[in-house]
Amino acid sequence: MEKLKLHSPDFTQENIAKLAELFPSCVTETQAVDGKPKRAIDFDQLRQELSTAIVEGPQERYQLNWPGKREALLTANAPIAKTLRPCREESVNFDTTQNLFIEGDNLDALKLLQETYLNKVKMIYIDPPYNTGSDLLYEDDFTESNDSYLVKSNQMDELRRRLTLNTEANGRFHSDWLSMIYPRLKLALNLLADDGVVFISIDENEVSNLRKVCDEIFGEKNSLSPFIWSLPRGINAGHISRAHEYVIGYAKNKSKLPLFNKIGDAEYSIDRCNKRIDRRHPASEISFPAGIRYEGPDQALTGEISGSEGIDIIGKLEFKNGALSQDVTLKAGWTMKNMIQDWLDGKKVSDTKGQEIVEFFFKENGKLYSKKKVEFECPKSILSDVPDTQSARTQIEELLGNQDIFSYPKPSALIERFINLATDPDDIVMDFFAGSCSTAQALFDVNKSQSVGKRRFILVQIPEPLSQDNVDHEAAIEFCRSINKPGNIAEIGKERIRRAGKKIKTENALTAPNLDIGFRVLKIDSSNMKDVYYAPDAVQQGDLLEQVNNIREDRTPEDLLFQVLLDWGVDLALPITQETIAGKQVFFVDGNALAACFETGINEEFVKALAARHPLRAVFRDAGFGSDSVKINIEQIFKLISPTTEVKSI
């Protein structure tokens, strides 16, 4: 019976396989750390395959480089042997919610989610450390080979070794920040849907580097115009009071990214149809027949309609009873001449975005206007109408009682703007630098305003410890004491989501009775499997008994279930039920999508009863079969009773 691998994908080996298909002559063998041969790439040969001239050595080329970039790429590709453990007691509506809160290192989380949410996330918003000199950065150490790291990663790193203060005195100040952000964005790219988009908040410290990194990962052609978030109060530091931050945006594939959703209730937009006469808008004549709609009192105009965008009247422009009373020819610098003429000829007219132009009509000033059906939004790059950071602090105070709990939270209105623009009701929104969890509140607000809103979030936050020696952490530490929780950022974020959800649900009980304000808490931990599972070659005779029971003693059946969901790529937010069949506890995920039983003493009677349920997938504990014959016969039983069921063991 095939076994689940129970670790994240090894992207290095996947990339080698892809290159082998394209350039088989570049595949060679090398010796692994255990002395066995393994497949590798002959990079000199590959360089020659991609060159039109003889390759002798490194050549200059346009690229972003920094000390540690190769290690950062290795960081992104290296597999890990970790898992997500469910935590029901910290969750809200665990059995019914579709929202996820993952507690742990976001690099680990992104790796663990690769198979389950590949190409499924519509929008990612992140607010990473700005690298101001006082930010904590993730300290990733992947200097070992993938094989040795896979074993090492089965042990939990101490949290204090995962975060480090990146001061300006550090000789690798920018390099360390780049090495931190690069692998995370590289993994995030895989999760984005083909029509997905990422938005990243940043300030001037790293905006130029961030754009270069994103150009490399997402492709320069997929860049969207950066948003300038206006902060009217400004920050008085240095020669200039900084009154803005940036939100840069990138599509996974700009050619597949639809135009942004309409925001607001306006059904139509009204636009004037002439401009100042110049090279782009040369003067030309259009003849208008009587009967075109007019807004204003009866009047007759002759000669010229003055103003910066003048119009010459050839004949008389006369309006009576809300319409043009006689034919007239007008000469102007038209902005939509061909569309106007097509509409006058009785054709259906749409703009370049596909939005229908319902009519052209005259206003009291005698000028022609278009009435266009608004179906898309073309947002301005200056976010001048989005609340600033003080509004975010006010939100925190309303929910948690003290605005100083988070130093620089983002207002939910900022993220709400992007969710409204870029997502549809059933989409997934992700934030893997969750922090104050404004993204969760923003998503709740968007869903409650739309009766069909069922967007869901995946948030990731490391339990960053609060320091007694840090004055900025005093309010946060006191808050954690007040709710009797450990002093870390993740705990405050979860409490903010609980309170925000309860507040929104209470205030919208009649209009949004089915609003999902819950979330499943999943915590990153070492694998449920013992070390011998990942390094069987290292087992000595005295350790053979460990192989019989290769699952850690402190793990529950539900822990095992979620590791199976990860490995099989099953949505972690699907509903889970438990039933007893032939005396054995069985988990059913989303009805019959997956059936899992991790009990011992599995016999053929039980297997036949389970197969009769016709699950799409079935998984058992390798050491759970009552005898070797049962283990051998189980696949045959399923082939007879439920041939479409895929059967595996752990």
Distance CA 589, CA 584 (A): 16
Distance CA 421, CA 242 (A): 27
Q: What is the pLDDT of residue 165?
A: 73
Q: Please state the three-class secondary structure of 343-397 as a single string.
A: HHCCCCCECCCCCEEEEEEECCCCCEEEEEECCEECCCCEECCCCCHHHHHHHHH
Q: Which domains does the chain have, with CATH numbers?
A: 11-61 (no CATH), 77-263+379-524 (3.40.50.150), 268-373 (no CATH), 550-649 (no CATH)
Residue 593 has pLDDT above 80, yes or no: yes
Residue 446 has pLDDT above 50, yes or no: yes
Q: What is the pLDDT of residue 160?
A: 41
Task: Give the mean model confidence (pLDDT) for residues 72-90.
Answer: 91
Residue 172 has pLDDT above 90, yes or no: no
Instruction: Grade residue 157 by pLDDT with cuts at 50, 70 and 90.
Output: very low
Instruction: Grade residue 3 by pLDDT with cuts at 50, 70 and 90.
Output: confident
Residue 59 has pLDDT above 60, yes or no: no
Q: What is the pLDDT of residue 40?
A: 80
The residue ranking higher by pLDDT, 541 or 312, is: 312
Distance CA 361, CA 273 (A): 10
The pair of three-digit structure tokens given for residue 208, joined into one six-digit string = 């130029």
Distance CA 217, CA 212 (A): 9
What DSSP letter does each residue of 41-106 carry, written as one string?
E-HHHHHHHT-SS---S---------TTHHHHHHHHH----EEEEE-GGG-BSTTT---EEEES-H
Residue 154 has pLDDT above 60, yes or no: no
Q: Work out the mean pLDDT of the chain and round it to a whole number.
A: 88
Residue 7 has pLDDT above 80, yes or no: no
Distance CA 467, CA 92 (A): 28
Residue 398 has pLDDT above 90, yes or no: yes
The CA-to-CA distance between both ends of the chain, in Å, stands at 10
Whole-model pTM: value is 0.84
Residue entry with tokens 């480090």 = 164
Going by C-alpha positions, the residue among 179, 188, 72, 624 that lies closest to residue 430 is 188
- Please state the φ and ψ torsions of residue 628, each to the nearest 5 degrees: -65, -35
Residue 158 has pLDDT above 50, yes or no: no
Residue 156 has pLDDT above 50, yes or no: no
Longest dimension (CA), the chain: 106
Task: Give the mean model confidence (pLDDT) for residues 195-206.
Answer: 95
Q: What is the pLDDT of residue 638?
A: 95
What does the radius of gyration of the chain's CA atoms come to, in whole angstroms? 31
What DSSP letter does each residue of 435-467 carry, written as one string?
TT-HHHHHHHHHHHHSTT---EEEEEE--PBP-
Q: What is the pLDDT of residue 312?
A: 95
Percent of the chain at pLDDT exceeding 70: 89
Q: What is the pLDDT of residue 161?
A: 47
Partners of 83 in the beta sheet?
Answer: 525
Instruction: Grade residue 69 by pLDDT with cuts at 50, 70 and 90.
Output: confident
Distance CA 496, CA 440 (A): 9
pLDDT per position as a tens digit, 287-306: 999 999 999 999 999 999 98
Partners of 249 in the beta sheet?
Answer: 199, 224
